[in-house]
A and B are shown apart, each in its own frame.
Chain A
Amino acid sequence: MQFGIFTVGDLTQDPTTGTTISENQRIKNTVELARHVEQVGLDVFATGEHHNPPFVPSSPTTTLGFIAAQTDKLLLSTSTTLITTNDPVKIAEDYATLQHLADGRVDLMMGRGNTGPVYPWFGKDIRDGIPLAIENYALLRRLWTEDVVTWEGKYRTPLQSFTATPRPLDGIPPFVWHGSIRSTEIAEQAAYYGDGFFHNNIFWPMSHTRQMVALYRRRFEHYGHGSADQAIVGLGGQVFMRANSQDAVREFRPYFDNAPVYGHGPSLEEFSRETPLTVGSPEQVIERYAAMADSVGDYQRQLFLLDHAGLPHQAVMEQVEILGTQVVPELRKIAAARKPAHVPDAPTHASRLAAAAANAETHSTQDLEEVSR
């Protein structure tokens, strides 16, 4: 099972001090955070993509490329890549380039983006969100898997004899997850292609997450990619930990109460009950997150949101430390002990390359047998 961090990249005032760091500092902090994620033994670092304040990450491959140069094992991902407002041609090229630079340590999570005003800035209309996600991704797949593409669709200029460069590393495109909170069409899309499905459940009750994941698993099997329990599932998470759980609550509460998304709404206690937010001791986090698989089945990727709502960088780095040294080792053991052998791990470049090679070998053996007959 993979564990990691996903960042939204918000630039939020620290409600306890009234200070807001600079964009420059936020971007530099994000890189340091990613390095730390690798140092403490976590697997994945994913960055959001936003094109409006108060967010800084508008150029994910620039940041991920910079991080790739400073890490060795860390898997670089997105949360999410805007498949609606980005040109699929540019996504194909940017992420293939990143794949080469990072030696394959790259995958992506597609998302639509739910900020209405952003769409027209890129010549799109939010009401076309789902059709854009479907058409653009269908084109993106072709750009990665076919060397020469002639294509025509509704939402971009037609392509005549177009080759996206560079070609994906070793001819293997990055693995793709599809992120959606409410849209069943996106779970259906992920299932159709046999791609991963990520439910960012951090603001939602498990009753809803369970429904979305169950739908994806059932349709994954329907489309012939394997049994439902072999589908590739990821979940979000949100935690704040201190050795003493009361210290965690006391320290985190002002950030919760003023957080951009849920602040000034439900209490920390209510929100913790209804969503995966867990504020307390490392043991409480282990207990809560070890039980997630009871609701959604054995899953492949767990990402945590830590650096948001104006939390100081130092506190975020300490959270990564606790997660990497005390929490995730235990969660790994528990997940490994319960996962049946036929449930796969999340695909990586290495595993997909090996699968492709094995596949090619089978075919060439068949060819030889046919020739000898």
Chain B
Amino acid sequence: MTTRRIVVVQAGLGQPSTTRLLAERLANAFEDALLERGEETEVTFVDLREHAHDLANTLLTGFATGRLREALDAVRDADAVIAVTPVFQASYSGLFKTFVDVLDDGALRGTPVLMAATAGTARHSLVLEHAMRPMFAYLKAITVPTGVFAASEDWGTGGTVDTGLSNRITVAAAELADLVTGGGGRAAKASNAPQVDEFADPVPFEDLLAR
């Protein structure tokens, strides 16, 4: 059985955090969707709260070390990424963006990505389309059509729980599973990714001189 490596990057800060809850729901739904397609999943969670200091240090020193380095490598090597952020001041959180800022060039090129966000009000729901999707487009990631947004009311209003969120999670996870198993992302990843290891294979000096 094929095993797909999936990395869940989530920028929730609280304990418990709805962002983390949503991330777990999405990861579980994705696992189920892959199982239906006869494949297994290996899930790695990157909880950005744990890397907050290292992220600030990386901005200042220019290099990532230790566990943050491992997280960056995991994202680069992932078959798919689920990215979940809280909405702060009408956009993804600064912590989330800082992680994106220190990703290696080309790290997400061709990678299927499921975007999700949480907020206190549904008025922020277009953050997915106005902030996250353009950013992932710039990174040349392949975003699934359905982004998952969860506002406070999606977690229950004291009465009945709207099934809308569950449906969106299922749909988005299925879209991501189709992309991953269909190879939609990997073709782009293989052909476009800067796979050249510049340390192993530098540009010959004659070529540099001739430029």
Give residues in A with beta carbon < 8 Å to B. Answer: 130-131, 134, 138, 184-185, 187-189, 191-192, 203-205, 208, 211-212, 214-215, 219, 223, 262, 264-266, 270-271, 274
Q: Is the Cβ of A185 less than 8 Å from the Cβ of B65?
A: no
**A188 and B56: CB pair below 8 A?**
no
With beta carbons under 8 angstroms apart, the residue of B56, B57, B60, B205 that contacts A192 is B205
B60 & A265 in contact (Cβ 8 Å cutoff): yes
Is B208 interfacial (CB 8 A cutoff)?
yes
Is the Cβ of A188 less than 8 Å from the Cβ of B60?
no
Tell me the total A-B contact number using a CB cutoff of 8 A: 55
Let me know if A266 and B198 touch, CB within 8 A. no
Asked if residues B60 and A184 are in contact (CB atoms below 8 Å), the reply is no
Task: Count chain B residues whose beta carbon lies closer than 8 angstroms to a beta carbon of A.
Answer: 17
Contact indicator A205/B211 (Cβ below 8 Å):
no
Q: List 26 A-B contacts (CB under 8 A).
A: A130-B208, A131-B211, A138-B209, A185-B202, A185-B208, A188-B202, A188-B205, A188-B208, A189-B208, A192-B205, A203-B61, A203-B62, A203-B63, A208-B63, A212-B199, A219-B202, A262-B60, A265-B56, A265-B57, A265-B59, A265-B60, A266-B57, A270-B57, A274-B61, A274-B63, A274-B65
B199 touches A214 (CB 8 A): yes
Query: Is B204 in contact with chain A by the CB < 8 A criterion?
Result: yes
- Other A-B pairs beyond A188-B205, A219-B202, A265-B57, 8, CB < 8 Å: A138-B209, A184-B202, A185-B203, A188-B203, A188-B204, A214-B199, A265-B56, A271-B61
Given contacts A187-B202, A215-B202, A265-B56, contact A134 B209 (CB under 8 A): yes
Whether the Cβ atoms of A266 and B61 lie closer than 8 Å is yes
Min distance, Cβ B199 to any Cβ of chain A, angstroms: 5
Task: Tell me the smallest distance from the CB of A208 to a CB of chain B, in Å.
Answer: 7
Quick one: which of A188, A191, A265 contacts B61, CB cutoff 8 A?
A: A265
Minimum-distance CB pairs A-B, first 6: A265-B60, A192-B205, A266-B57, A184-B198, A188-B202, A184-B202
Residues of B within 8 A of A212 (CB): 199
Tell me, in angstroms, the Cα distance from A188 to B203 when the chains sit together: 8
Q: Which A residues touch B211, using CB under 8 A?
A: 131, 134
A215 touches B199 (CB 8 A): yes
Q: How far does the Cβ of A139 sit from chain B's closest Cβ, in whole Å?
A: 12
CB-nearest residue of chain A to B53: A266
A211-B209 in contact (CB<8A): no
Within 8 A of A (CB), among B184-211: 198-199, 202-205, 208-209, 211
Q: Determine whether the beta carbon of A264 is less than 8 Å from that of B203.
A: no
For the complex, what is the distance from the CA of A211 to the CA of B208, rounded to whole Å? 20
